């Protein structure tokens, strides 16, 4: 009998690739509103339940699941700011109901996708898990509060809080509103990259390593706790030059009003034995290849904010 995994937000950018891997060895239930569509192919090991973590959790029988991977959130700063009540309900308030259901159902491991941006701007070279959180945006705050809700249950379940860097690379459910993907797509289609500022440092993780982190956590006996997951801290200008090496493009530097600089150290995760296998360069080359094969195109739903305005929040505009 295969072990059963619940993936909330499994139809999203990361979820779609994660579920594709999980179904090879587990029986997977995806729970998702499908706000950005559904790109998952039918499979005997996959059950998709359309529902909202705010009020449809009774559609799920938690006694069946051994693992929960919780990805269903509004996933970026401007998206969260569009409707703050909705964002707090989805990103923070639902957390309590979800983990209580998981605990009473007997789930063994609960993994939450927080964000590396919870640290805020840090002077320290090594941004490790024990540093204070000084979240800047409301998105960061919803993640921090949600972490605290989950942490208050840490004695009742094996809890893993993952703080991922910005994810990059191709997924069938694409996001073009995240830095590497956006800049690479600009280079491929406009032959021009617009860089705002450029000196800001941001941590990055290839989407295939992101998927592997979640697989690694459910497969292995790892000490529960908080783990950063980001393996390449890069200045945006270096990133643009990196892309220029692979794709013929001009770089235009514009003034920026966004000074946020983040970096991350993932030594704690690496010490457990996790080995990243993919790089930012791999993500750029894969995006280039997918574009050549016409598997990377543009769609409004690839931009969280525009799509939410157009669909979910249409009546409010
Ligand atoms: N992509 C990144 O760079 C990144 C970095 C750090 C953390 N994260 C976190 O990882 C998770 C997944 O991110 P992603 O990039 O795949 O985003 P995404 O928007 O592509 O996926 C989120 C999925 O959750 C679903 N969802 C949203 N609200 C829901 C609700 N109330 N009930 C049920 N389903 C709901 C959406 O329909 C979507 O399919 C998020 O929690 C995000 O904050 C992402």
Burial zone of 95 (CB within 10 Å; 0-12 exposed, 13-18 middle, 19+ buried)? buried
pLDDT class for 121, splitting at 50, 70, 90?
confident
Q: Which of 8, 13, 51, 92 to mutate to test the pocket of ligand 1 (most atoms within 8 A of CB)?
A: 13
CB contact at 8 A, 40 and 11: yes
Judge if the beta carbon of residue 54 lies within 6 A of ligand 1. Answer: yes
Q: How far does the centroid of ligand 1 lie from the alpha carbon of residue 278, in Å?
A: 21
For the segment 239-250, what is each residue's pLDDT rounded down to a tens digit?
A: 999 999 999 999
Task: Report domain extents, the chain.
Answer: 4-311
The chain-wide mean pLDDT, for the chain, equals 95
Residue 123: pLDDT band (50, 70, 90) is: confident
Q: What is residue 238's predicted lDDT score, i.e. its pLDDT? A: 94
Segment 147-164 mean pLDDT: 98
Confidence class for position 317, pLDDT limits 50, 70, 90: low
C-alpha to C-alpha distance for 265 and 126, rounded to whole angstroms: 5
pLDDT of residue 258: 75
The DSSP H or E segment spanning 225 is strand 225-229
166 lines ligand 1 (CB under 6 A): yes
Taking the C-alpha atoms of residue 82 and residue 79, their distance in angstroms, rounded to an integer, is: 6
Is the Cβ atom of 170 under 6 angstroms away from ligand 1? no
**How many angstroms is it from 266 CA to the middle of ligand 1?**
21
Percent of the chain scoring above 90 in pLDDT = 90
Assigned CATH class of 4-311: alpha beta
| Local confidence band at 261 (pLDDT 50, 70, 90 cut-offs) | confident
pLDDT at 114: 98
| pLDDT tens, position by position, 202-247 | 899 999 999 999 999 999 999 999 999 999 999 999 999 999 999 9
Cβ atoms of 23 and 45 within 8 Å: the answer is yes
Distance CA(209)–CA(204), nearest Å, equals: 10
- Split at pLDDT 50, 70, 90, the class of 42 is very high
In this prediction, residues 133-158 reach a mean pLDDT of 97
pLDDT at position 293, please?
97
pTM for this one? 0.97
127 token code pair: 């941004």
Which residue would you say has higher pLDDT here, 35 or 258?
35
Region 154-175: what's the mean pLDDT?
98
Instruction: Give bridge partners of residue 31 from the DSSP assignment.
Output: 8, 49
Read off the pLDDT band of 270 (50, 70, 90): very high
């Amino acid at each position: 009998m295969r072990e059963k995994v619940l993936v909330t937000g499994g139809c999203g950018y990361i979820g779609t690739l994660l579920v594709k891997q999980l179904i090879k060895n587990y029986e997977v239930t995806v729970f998702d509103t499908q706000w950005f569509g559904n790109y998952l192919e039918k499979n005997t090991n996959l059950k998709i339940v359309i529902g909202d973590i705010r009020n449809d959790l009774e559609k799920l029988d938690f006694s069946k699941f051994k693992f929960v991977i919780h990805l269903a959130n509004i996933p970026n700063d401007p998206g969260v700011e569009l409707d703050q009540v909705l964002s707090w309900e989805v990103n923070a308030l639902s957390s309590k109901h979800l983990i209580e259901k998981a605990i009473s159902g007997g789930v063994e491991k609960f993994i939450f996708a927080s964000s590396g941006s919870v640290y805020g701007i840090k002077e320290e070279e090594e941004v490790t898990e024990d540093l204070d959180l000084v979240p800047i945006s409301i998105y960061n705050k919803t993640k921090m509060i949600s972490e605290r809700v989950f942490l208050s249950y840490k004695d009742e379940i094996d809890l893993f809080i993952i703080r991922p860097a910005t994810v990059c690379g191709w997924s069938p459910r694409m996001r073009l509103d995240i830095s590497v993907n956006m800049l690479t797509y600009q280079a491929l289609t406009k032959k021009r990259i617009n860089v705002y500022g450029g000196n800001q440092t941001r941590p990055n993780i290839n989407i295939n390593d992101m998927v592997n982190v979640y697989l690694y956590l459910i497969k292995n006996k790892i000490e529960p706790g908080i783990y950063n997951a980001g393996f390449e801290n890069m200045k945006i200008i270096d990133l643009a030059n990196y892309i220029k090496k692979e794709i013929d493009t001009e770089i235009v530097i514009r003034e920026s009003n966004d000074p946020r600089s983040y970096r991350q150290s993932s030594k704690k995760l690496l010490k457990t034995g996790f080995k990243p296998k993919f790089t930012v360069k791999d993500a750029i080359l894969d995006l280039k290849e997918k574009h050549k094969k016409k598997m990377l195109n543009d769609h409004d739903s690839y931009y969280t904010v525009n799509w939410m305005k157009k669909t979910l929040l249409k009546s409010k505009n």
